[in-house]
Structure 1
Amino acid sequence: MLSPLLTSLSIWDPFISIGSTILQPLYWVVSGILVLFHSVWSPVFGTDSGWTWALSIVSLTVVIRVALIPLFVKQIKSSRSMQLLQPKVRELQKKYAHDREKLGAETMKLYRENNANPLASCLPLLIQMPIFLALFRVLDGAARNIPRGHWLRINPDLVSSLNSSTIFGAKISDTFTKVGFANGINSVHVLTLGLIIAMTATLFVTQLQLMRKNMPAEALEGPFAQQQKIMLYVFPLIFAVGGINFPVGVLIYWFTSNLWTMGQQFYVIRRNPAPGTPAFAAWEERHQRHRHEETVAVEPEGRGTRGGGSTALPVAQAADAAATPRVARQQPRKQTRSQRRP
C-alpha cells in the first residue's frame, strides 16, 4: 500500500533539490538582511527578544518594497493604460466578434502602441513570491533548528534565538496548524488569526480603492473588469485560507507588505489619479479649492459697503493701490478768537 506512495514521492525529489538550489541565493540574501537588522535592534530590545526578530522582519519587508518601487510605478502606469483602453478594447470585440484570432492580434497591437502590458500588474507579486518562499523556508528551518542561509549557518545561536523568540506569547516560528487545539485556544491561535485578518483586510482595501477610485466608469465593464472583480475576492480568500500554514514571522512580512502597498497606492492615486475617475474629480476639487484659498489670501481687505459687507479689489488694482504713495491730508490752521469775529 505504501510502496506506490513512497515511489511517487521519490519522483519529486530531483525537482525539490533543483528548487532548493535555485533558492540558495535568496536564502543567503534573506538570512543576511535578517541578521543585519537583528544586530541593529538587539541593543534596544535584547538579542533573544521576539520584538527584535519581528522588527527585523518588518525592516526586511521595507527594504524589499523600496527595491520594488520602480516596478510598482511601472505597474501603476500599465494598469492605468489598461483601464483607459477598455472602451477601445470593447470596440475591437464588437468589430472582430466573429474572428477570435484577429481580435487577439488587434488587442495586443493596441496594448503595444499604448505601452500597456496586461502582465505588468502581476510583476511585484510574482517577484515577491520567491522572496516569500525563501523567508518561509528560513523560518520553517528555524522551527526545526535547521539553519537555512549562509548567515544563519555561521551563527547557530541565532537559529535557536529565532526558534524560541516570542511575541505576545507566540513563537515567531509557530503556525496556526502546528500548535493544535489539545490545550484549547492559545496565544498562537489568537495572534495568527489577527494577522491573517489584518493581512486579508489590507489586501482587499488595496484592490477595492483601485477599482472604486482610480477606474473610469467605462473601465468597470467588460471582461477585464470582471477579472478585476474576481481578483478582488479570490486573492484575499487564498491568503486567508493559506495563512493558517504560515509561520507568525511570514504573516508579519505579508501584513507589512500589504500595508505598504495600501499606503503607497493611496499616495499615488491621491497625487496622480487617472483622468475620468472619481479620484481625478476629487483631485481637481482640491486644487480649485487651494487656488481659491491662495487668491483670497493675497486680496486686501475691502472697504465696507452699504450692506455692511466688504469688497475686495482685484489683485492688479491692489498692487497699484499699494504702490501709490499716500498724500497726507493737511488740517486747517487754528484761528484765534479775534480772527473768528465778524
Structure 2
Amino acid sequence: MDGTSDARDLDRVVDGFLGHARHARGLSEQTLRAYANDLEQFVGFAAARGVADVGSVSLELLRDWLWEADQRSLARATIARRSSSVRAFTRWASETGLLASDPGVRLRAPKGASHLPRVVSTDQVRALLDGLAARAGTDDPGALRDLAVVELLYAAAIRVSELVGIDVVDVDRSRLTVRVLGKGGRERVVPFGVPARDALEAWLDRGRPVLAARRTATGGASGTARSTSASASASASASDGTERALFLGDRGGRLGTRSAYRVVARLLQDLPGEGPSGPHTFRHTAATHLLDGGADLRAVQELLGHASLGTTQIYTHVSSARLREVYRTAHPRA
C-alpha cells in the first residue's frame, strides 16, 4: 500500500477527524466518546462490506448502516445520534478534500423520542430543600454539601458537569453569581439566590474544611510508604484541581458527576412522576418555573447556556402541558 492509499484508509481518516474534534472544536468528553464509539461501529460495518477507503463512502453505505441499526431494534435516539456522528465526519472529510462531495448531507434518521423533561413542583422542591436543611442543621459535612449542591443546581439551572467543575474562586457571594464552563468550552456567569448563597456559605465555612482535612489525613503508614502515598495523593489532587474545587466528595477529592447524581437520585426516587431522577431534573425544573413565573425565553436561553433558542423552547411545551393538565382537572367544562 502506497503512502497516498494509506492516508485515505477509512480507519486512519476517522482517527484524524476525532483528533480534530478534540483539539479544534472544543467538544465535551461525552460528545467525543459518542463520536468515537459510533464511528468505530461504522468503520467495522464498512469493512464488512469491503469498504476500506474513505473515497468509497457513499450515501447508500450510510443508509445501509442506519437501516441495519433499525433492524436490530436500536432506539430511535441511538440511530439519530449515529446519523449525527457520521454526518459530522463526512462533512469534515469533504471540507478537507478527502471526499469529493459530502454524502452525509442527504442522510436522514428518525429524531430521538420526544419525551418532555421531568419537572418537580414548587412545593416538592421546597419540601426537598427543607428536608436537606434539617439534616444540614446538624453540621454534618456531607449534609451541608448536599444542601449546597441541590440549592445551586436549582437556583442557577446548571448542568451537573458544570457544577462539579466549579472552583471556589468562581463563586461571587457578594454579587450572587457563579462562573461555569459549559458545552463547547463556552463560559458564562449565572445568578443564584440568597438561599443558595446561605447554603454555600455554610458549606464553605463548616463543611468543606472537614472533608478537605480527610484528604490531607490520608497517606498510609509511615516512612517511605507514607511519603510515596502522600506524593501520589498530592499528584492526584493537582490533576483534578481538588485544592481549588468548590465541592468535595466524602474522601476529600473533587466531587464527581456520579456522586452528584447519587445525591439527587436519592432525593427524587420517592417522588411521584415519571422520567429521569438525576441532577438534570433540577435544571429542567428551574427553567420551567422561570417561564411559569413570566421570564423571557431568551433570558432563560442565556441562563441555561443553550446555543439555540429552539433547545430552550421545549420548556414552553412543558409549561403548556402543565397548563392543559390543570385545565383538564380544574375546569368544570374541560
TM-score by length of 1: 0.23
Q: Which has the higher contact order (CA 8 A, sep 6+)?
A: 1
| Larger Cα-atom Rg | 1
